[in-house]
Structure 1
Amino acid sequence: MAQQYVLALDLGTSALKAALVSFTGAVAGLETEPVPLTVLPGGGAEQNPEDWWNALVTATRRLMARGIAGPDRVAAVCCTAQWSATVAVDRAGRPLMPAISWMDTRGAPDVARLTGGPVSVAGYGVDKLWRWIRRTGGIPGKAGKDSLAHILYIRRAHPWVYEAAHKFLEPKDYLNLRLTGEFASTYEAITLHWVTDNRDPYHIRYDPDLLAAAGLERAQLPDLLPATAVLGRLRPAAAEELGLRPETHVIAGTPDIHAAAIGSGGTRDLDPHLYVGTSSWLSAHVPYLKTDLLHNMASIPAAIPGRYLVANEQETAGACLLHLRDLLADPSGRTPRTQTLSDGRGASTDEEAPDEMTRLINLAAGVPAGSDGLLFTPWLAGERTPVEDPWVRGGFHNLTLRTTRGHLVRAVLEGVALNARWLAEAVDRFVGRRLEPVRLIGGGARSELWCQIYADVLDRAVHQMERPLEASARGAGLLALVGLGELNFADVPELVAAARTFEPTPAHRRIYAELSAAFRELYRRQRGVYARLNRRTAR
Structure 2
Amino acid sequence: MPVFVGCDLGTMGSKAAVVGDDGTILGAALEEVPLHRPRAGWVEQDPLEIEASAHRVIRRALDESGERGEISGIAFSGQMSGIATIGAGFEPVTHYDSWLDTRCEPYIDRMAEWAGRVVELSGCPPTYSHGPKMLWWRHERPDAYAQIERFVPIGSFVAARLAGLQVADAFMDRTYLHFTNLADTASGQWSDELIALFEIDPARLPRLVEAVDVIGEVTAEASSASGLPRGTPIAAGAGDTAASALGAAVVRPGQAFDAAGTASVFGICVDGFRPDTAARTLMATRGVAPGTFVNLAFVNGGGLALRWFRDEIASDLASKPDAYATLDALAANVPPGSEGLLWFPHFQGRVLPPQPHARGSWVGLTSRHTRGHLFRSLLEGIAFEYAEWARLAAEAGSGDLRETRAIGGGAASALWNQIKADVLGIDWIPVVTQECGVLGDAIIAAAATGHVRDVASAADSWQRAGTAVRPDAERHAIYDRLRGAYRALGEALTPVFRAMVDAPPGASVEERS
TM-score, normalised to structure 2, is 0.91
Q: Deviations over 1:62-118 (max 9, x none)?
A: 22222x2322122111100110111111111111111111122222212433452xx
Counterpart residue number, 1:309: 294
The letter of the residue matching 1:79 is F
Counterpart residue number, 1:475: 440
- Structural mapping, 1:410-489, within 5 Å: 410-468=376-434, 470-487=435-452, 488-489=454-455
Structure 1 residue 401: deviation in Å? Answer: 2.6
Structure 1 residue 238: deviation in Å? Answer: 1.0
Matched residue SS, 1:245: coil
- Structure 2 CA distance, aligned partners of 1:514 and 1:284? 24
Counterpart residue number, 1:136: 122
Aligned-residue CA RMSD in angstroms? 2.2
Q: Is 1:506 equivalent to 2:476 in the alignment?
A: no
The alpha-carbon distance between structure 1 residues 427 and 92, as it changes in their structure 2 partners (threshold 3 A), is same
Q: Is the 8 A contact 1:45 1:100 kept in 2?
A: yes
The alpha-carbon distance between structure 1 residues 216 and 524, as it changes in their structure 2 partners (threshold 3 A), is closer
Counterpart residue number, 2:271: 287
Which 5+ residue runs of structure 1 have no aligned equivalent?
117-123, 337-351
Counterpart residue number, 2:202: 218
The alpha-carbon distance between structure 1 residues 186 and 471, as it changes in their structure 2 partners (threshold 3 A), is same
Q: Deviations over 1:327-365 (max 9, x none)?
A: 13547xx9x7xxxxxxxxxxxxxxx56422222222222
- Structural mapping, 1:177-196, within 5 Å: 177-182=160-165, 183-196=170-183
Counterpart residue number, 1:348: none
The letter of the residue matching 1:402 is R
Structure 1 residue 54: deviation in Å? Answer: 2.2
Counterpart residue number, 2:511: none
- Structure 1 CA distance, aligned partners of 2:393 and 2:351? 14
Q: Is the 8 A contact 1:88 1:161 kept in 2?
A: no
Counterpart residue number, 1:319: 304
Structure 1 residue 303: deviation in Å? Answer: 2.1
- Structure 2 CA distance, aligned partners of 1:433 and 1:507? 25
Q: Is the 8 A contact 1:195 1:210 kept in 2?
A: yes
- Structural mapping, 1:58-73, within 5 Å: 58-66=56-64, 68-73=65-70
- Which of 254, 260, 273 pairs up with 2:238? 254
Q: Is the 8 A contact 1:10 1:256 kept in 2?
A: yes
Q: Is the 8 A contact 1:266 1:273 kept in 2?
A: yes
Q: Deviations over 1:171-198 (max 9, x none)?
A: 1111112211222211222432233333
- Structure 2 CA distance, aligned partners of 1:94 and 1:463? 43
The alpha-carbon distance between structure 1 residues 417 and 207, as it changes in their structure 2 partners (threshold 3 A), is closer
Counterpart residue number, 2:356: 390
- Structure 2 CA distance, aligned partners of 1:285 and 1:459? 18
- Structure 1 CA distance, aligned partners of 2:482 and 2:160? 49
- Structure 2 CA distance, aligned partners of 1:511 and 1:205? 45
Counterpart residue number, 1:20: 18
Counterpart residue number, 1:236: 220
- Structural mapping, 1:519-534, within 5 Å: 519-534=486-501
Matched residue SS, 2:396: helix
Q: Is the 8 A contact 2:119 2:276 kept in 1?
A: no
Structure 1 residue 427: deviation in Å? Answer: 1.7
Counterpart residue number, 1:148: 131
Identity fraction in percent: 27
Counterpart residue number, 1:107: 104
Which 5+ residue runs of structure 2 have no aligned equivalent?
506-513
Matched residue SS, 2:299: coil
Structure 1 residue 416: deviation in Å? Answer: 1.4
The alpha-carbon distance between structure 1 residues 483 and 537, as it changes in their structure 2 partners (threshold 3 A), is farther
Structure 1 residue 259: deviation in Å? Answer: 0.7
- Structure 1 CA distance, aligned partners of 2:465 and 2:120? 38
The alpha-carbon distance between structure 1 residues 29 and 70, as it changes in their structure 2 partners (threshold 3 A), is closer
- Structure 1 CA distance, aligned partners of 2:320 and 2:69? 37
- Structure 2 CA distance, aligned partners of 1:431 and 1:205? 24
- Structure 2 CA distance, aligned partners of 1:479 and 1:537? 49
Matched residue SS, 1:189: helix
Q: Is the 8 A contact 1:286 1:299 kept in 2?
A: no
Counterpart residue number, 1:297: 282
The letter of the residue matching 2:109 is A
Q: Is the 8 A contact 1:375 1:515 kept in 2?
A: no
Counterpart residue number, 1:85: 82
The letter of the residue matching 1:412 is L
Q: Deviations over 1:135-184 (max 9, x none)?
A: 43445x1x4x0111111111111111111111111111111122112222
Q: Is the 8 A contact 1:8 1:79 kept in 2?
A: yes
The letter of the residue matching 1:269 is P
Runs of 4 or more, structure 1, over 4 Å off, are 535-538
Matched residue SS, 1:380: coil
The letter of the residue matching 1:6 is F
- Structure 1 CA distance, aligned partners of 2:178 and 2:217? 26
Structure 1 residue 440: deviation in Å? Answer: 1.5
- Structural mapping, 1:5-16, within 5 Å: 5-16=3-14
The letter of the residue matching 1:434 is D
Tell which deviates more after alignment, 409-418 or 353-362: 353-362
The letter of the residue matching 1:529 is V
TM-score, normalised to structure 1, is 0.87
Q: Deviations over 1:384-439 (max 9, x none)?
A: 33x43222211222223332222222121111111111222112222342312111
Matched residue SS, 1:523: helix
The alpha-carbon distance between structure 1 residues 287 and 377, as it changes in their structure 2 partners (threshold 3 A), is same
The alpha-carbon distance between structure 1 residues 395 and 232, as it changes in their structure 2 partners (threshold 3 A), is same
Q: Deviations over 1:39-61 (max 9, x none)?
A: 35452211111221122122222
- Structure 2 CA distance, aligned partners of 1:236 and 1:370? 59
Matched residue SS, 2:176: coil
The alpha-carbon distance between structure 1 residues 197 and 77, as it changes in their structure 2 partners (threshold 3 A), is same
- Structure 2 CA distance, aligned partners of 1:129 and 1:428? 20
The alpha-carbon distance between structure 1 residues 513 and 307, as it changes in their structure 2 partners (threshold 3 A), is closer
- Structure 2 CA distance, aligned partners of 1:151 and 1:526? 31
The letter of the residue matching 2:176 is A
The alpha-carbon distance between structure 1 residues 136 and 419, as it changes in their structure 2 partners (threshold 3 A), is closer
The alpha-carbon distance between structure 1 residues 534 and 152, as it changes in their structure 2 partners (threshold 3 A), is same
- Structure 2 CA distance, aligned partners of 1:379 and 1:519? 13
Q: Deviations over 1:205-242 (max 9, x none)?
A: 33333322222222222222111011111111111111
